[in-house]
Amino acid sequence: MSIETTLGRGLDSIFRPGSIAVIGASVDHRKTGGRPVHLLKMHGYAGRILPVNPKGGEIQGLQGYTSVAELPEVPELALIAVPGAGALEAARDCAERGVPAAIVLSAGFAEQGPEGVARQAELKAIADRSGMRVLGPNCLGTVSVPERAIGTFSVALETAMPAEGPVAIVSQSGNVGSLAMKMLGQSGAGISRFLASGNECDVDIADAIAWCAGDAATKVILCCMETCRDAGRLTRALDMARAADKPVIVLKMGASDAGQAAAMSHTGGLAGSDRVFDAVFAAHGAVRVRSLEMLVQFGSAVAALGARRISDRPSVSVIAASGGFGIMMADAAEAQGVTLNRTGPAAQEKIRAVLPLASSVNPVDATAQMSASPETFEALVSAICEDDANEVVCVMMALGLEVPRLRDVYMNALASLRARFPDRVIVACVAGPDDALRALNGIGIVTFPTIDAMMEGVAAIGRLSGAGADNAPAARIDAAPLDRAAVTNEAGAKRVLGAAGVRFPQEIVATSAKEASNAAQKVGMPVAMKILSADIQHKSDIGGVELGVTGAEAAAAYDRILAAARQHAPEARIDGVLVAPMILGGTELILGTTTDPIFGPVVMVGLGGIFAEVFRDTALRVAPVTLPEAHEMLRALKSFPLLDGARGRPKADVESAAQAIVALSEFAVRHASDVAEIDINPLLVRDAGQGAIALDALIVPHGDTKAEAAE
């Protein structure tokens, strides 16, 4: 079956079951097997609860059953809360009875050594043979707030069920996800679904994201991720959420350096595996955050926004009762790439009419008088909201809600403003109290506790609105074998990459001093000459490169290069000397690919030349990329102004550079089974109309232990 038909299959029984069997049910509600029964009863689950315990009898006031076979009906969901070996037997019993879904809360599987790995493999085999969906094992299960359906023993439900709302939480870590659920409940955002996937022997977070994409109760999906076990399933699920206009916000835990440890060229060192996750999320419409606090704050903010959206480069106006706060807000906005737009003349006039001493430019210093009355505060914010140049209005409220008198001023004014400007995005910087935050979020006023969090949140909301939604996917590329003999050195790499669409200058391989002299005359002088050997990594370090060579000097330069190679690398295989025209001018980029262990070929572009590893100014995408995506990569570089005519420079041929990125990305996908890395440094991007030309190239096949370093 295709990914599309399997993603989310059978999760209705997990999230909306009409009956739940608890296998391993206990009369003691403090035990793992007793807690689900207790929580289902306490929080008002309307379906049938079927406790299973070998002793039978009454369990927490309910009829108990000695086995799954004894149950009077086939439950829609089974919660398995018995130790590892017993859990396997319980899963088999459920599969034989035709139970459509099971949540294995029990530990003792792949997280506990070889014996546990074997148990988990058998659990997966049971799921595969029967078609029963299995969540877990070693998981914290699920909560569906609208149905009061509880498949967990989490202490997060100890005293109260979270308020019903639009936010779903999908987490590989049970404790992280459970804490996020508790924090969101306190913020007043409201929860629709919670799922902790644990060891993911069958149901994974991609299943949950895909199911939530079609869930009417869910409007925002928060994802706590430790790793990705199937790249295709994850990216397709993210695409399904984006198509359904369900924002996905991801807390990706762990920044692995595994990709960098194995790097054999500049490209590998500049494209660590954690950055690949960033590229994947951006390409598929998700936004990544770096902390649990920001996940919760941003999730609450997006829930409060509802259908409101802003551009991917938002402009804001800020209002504060202090010039110092205004400066801090301006600094934080600039740090996040958020623009403070000019306050329009009409808005300035209205502000001065209300408070003549206020600074009416952006940031607006309204002085302490802005809290004098609801009418004054509302008039100030209203003047900004009426100016259509403002996408976002940010209000610094400091401790305003902590003081009863000021709280009424602000709350009444903000409620009135929301009613008058239903489409305007209004953001309040305020840390509490909790009931006030819940009230503000409830009427669609976005809140953040600090200035930095506020501007980071505004920037993230912008990214969420414009995260690649208009980009058509790259065309399917068929795999093809690559002749490894053709890429044993730089000349071979250039030949195959040139055939794929990357442009190189005319170059000649000379195997004698006379051939070198003739080659220099043929390609045009002056020339660059360098040793051609797969065994010499740092050519320039051993005297294996000579630049600006004329025809009369070419023969002697050839002899010097060969002598240097024999002296410093006597065991190296020498394939000759490469003679190429000297090409000067333009902006140097580095272009390359590496192979991510999860997502496969990744293409990277950045500031090149000798400073590539100093500035580490790069942009990544999973290959292949389209031409619009290649342009986005170039524009994402901090050094892009060098290509765009900064400080009177001529504009560079960005279109040709983008075409080179596309060609290289397609080559990497076509030959993914053979090629581990490709490195082009530099790609010389010349003035508009003159093209982009690559001066050096390296292809590293899978399994190679040595690599020629790009010059």
Same domain (yes/no): 96, 244:
yes
Q: Per-residue pLDDT tens for 374-431?
A: 788 899 999 999 988 888 999 998 888 988 888 888 899 999 999 999 999 999 999 8
CA distance 148 to 126: 29
**CATH code, 192:** 3.40.50.720
CATH (domain of 546): 3.30.1490.20
Q: What Cα–Cα distance (Å) separates residue 646 from each residue in 160, 338, 493, 611, 651?
A: 58, 21, 34, 19, 8
| Top-ranked range on mean pLDDT: pick from 109-118, 205-214, 333-342 | 205-214
On whether residue 58 sits in a domain, the answer given is yes
pLDDT at 417: 95
- What pLDDT sits at residue 268? 43
Whole-angstrom Cα distance, residue 612 to residue 632? 19
* Domain stop point among 531, 548, 581: 581
Give the residue carrying structure tokens 């440094």. 681
DSSP 165: E
In a domain, 557, yes or no: yes
465: pLDDT strictly greater than 80: no
**Closest to 355 measured CA to CA, from 341, 371, 339, 366:** 366
- Mean pLDDT over 452-478 rounds to 78
The DSSP secondary structure of 189-227, one letter per residue, reads --EEEEEE-TT-SS--HHHHHHHHHT-TT-SEEEEEES-
Is the domain of 452 the same as that of 518?
A: no
Same domain? For 248 and 375 the reply is no
Only one residue has tokens 């001023």, namely 409
231 pLDDT higher than 70: yes
Instruction: Give the pLDDT confidence score for residue 367 in this predicted structure.
Output: 83
Share of the chain above pLDDT 70, in %: 94
Shared domain for 242 and 333, answered yes or no, is no
Q: Are residues 561 and 451 in the same domain?
A: no
Q: What is the pLDDT of residue 475?
A: 77
**Measured between alpha carbons, how far is residue 58 from residues 41, 52, 93 in Å?**
14, 10, 22
In a domain, 81, yes or no: yes
Exposed, middle or buried, 322 (CB in 10 Å: 0-12/13-18/19+)? Answer: middle
Domain membership of residue 219 as a residue range: 3-254
Place of tokens 């009061």: 148
pLDDT the model gives residue 613 = 66
Judgement on whether residues 544 and 403 belong to the same structural domain of the protein: no
- 538, 558, 581 - which closes a domain: 581
Kindly give the interhelix angle for 404-420 and 434-442, rounded to the nearest 10 degrees. 10
The predicted structure's pLDDT at residue 312: 82
Residue 294 lies in a domain: no
Contacts 24+ apart (CB under 8 A), 202-205: 202/123, 202/124, 202/127, 202/128, 202/133, 202/134, 202/135, 203/11, 203/14, 203/133, 203/134, 203/135, 203/136, 204/229, 204/230, 204/233, 205/170, 205/171, 205/172, 205/234, 205/237
The confidence band for 288, taking pLDDT boundaries of 50, 70 and 90, is: very high
Does the pLDDT at position 708 exceed 60?
Answer: no
Average pLDDT over residues 310-336: 90
- Looking only at the bridges linking them, the beta strands covering 600-607 and 618-622 are antiparallel
Check if the beta carbon of residue 99 is closer than 8 Å to that of residue 78.
yes
In contact, 673 and 600? CB cutoff 8 Å? no
Categorize the per-residue pLDDT at 471 as very low, low, confident or very high, splitting at 50, 70 and 90.
low
448 and 322 assigned to the same domain? yes
Give me 104's structure tokens.
């294995």
Average pLDDT score, the chain: 90
* Residue at 91 is within a domain: yes
Residues with Cβ < 8 Å from 591, sequence gap 6 or more?
603, 604, 605, 608, 660, 661, 664, 680, 681, 683, 694
What pLDDT sits at residue 263? 36
The answer to whether residue 707 scores a pLDDT higher than 50 is no
Model confidence band, residue 610 (pLDDT cutoffs 50, 70, 90): low
Q: Are 166 and 222 contained in the same domain?
A: yes
pLDDT at 536: 87
Tens-digit pLDDT profile for residues 565-583: 999 999 999 999 999 999 9
Which CATH number characterizes residue 449's domain?
3.40.50.261
DSSP 408-436: HHHHHHHHHHHHH-TTSEEEEEE---HHH
pLDDT band with cut points at 50, 70 and 90 for residue 646: confident
- Does 391 map to a domain? yes
Q: How confident is the model at residue 537 (pLDDT cuts 50, 70, 90)?
A: confident
Q: Based on the fold, state whether residues 151 and 216 are members of the same structural domain.
A: yes
Asked if residue 296 has pLDDT above 90, the reply is yes
pLDDT for 48? 98
Tell me which residue of 702, 701, 260 sits closest to 489, measured CA to CA.
Answer: 701
Flag whether pLDDT at 214 surpasses 70: yes
| DSSP characters over 369-391 | GGGS-HHHHHHHHHHHHT-TT-S
Residue 638: is its pLDDT beyond 50?
Answer: yes
Give the pLDDT confidence score for residue 612 in this predicted structure.
Answer: 66
pLDDT band at 524 (very low <50, low <70, confident <90, very high): confident
HSE-up (13 A, CA, CB side) for residue 261: 6
Peptide bond into 682 cis (omega under 30): yes
- Of 465, 490, 524, the position where a domain reaches its end is 465
Residue 46: the pLDDT is 97
Residues 68 and 149 in one domain: yes
Count of domains observed in the chain: 3
Can you say whether residue 138 is alpha, beta or left, with left for phi > 0 and alpha for psi between -120 and 50 degrees?
left
- Determine the Cα–Cα distance for residues 400 and 409; give it in Å rounded to an integer: 9
Q: Are residues 56 and 204 in the same domain?
A: yes
Does residue 560 fall inside a structural domain? yes
Say what angle helices 654-670 and 490-500 make with each other, to 10 degrees: 100
Q: Residue 704's pLDDT band (boundaries 50, 70, 90)?
A: low
- Give the pLDDT band (50/70/90) at residue 705: very low
pLDDT at position 267 is 41
Name the region of 333 (left: φ>0; alpha: ψ -120 to 50; beta: rest). Answer: alpha
Q: Is 670 helix (H, G, I), strand (E, B) or coil?
A: helix
Q: Choose among 195, 191, 189: nearest CA to 223.
A: 195
Per-residue pLDDT at 444 exceeds 80: yes
Q: Are residues 518 and 461 in the same domain?
A: no
DSSP 682-711: EEEE-BTTS-EEE---EEEETT-S--PPP-
CA distance 193 to 204: 15
Q: Within a domain: residue 605?
A: no
Q: DSSP letters of 582-607?
A: ----SEEEEEEEEEETTTEEEEEEEE
Question: What's the pLDDT at 504?
Answer: 96
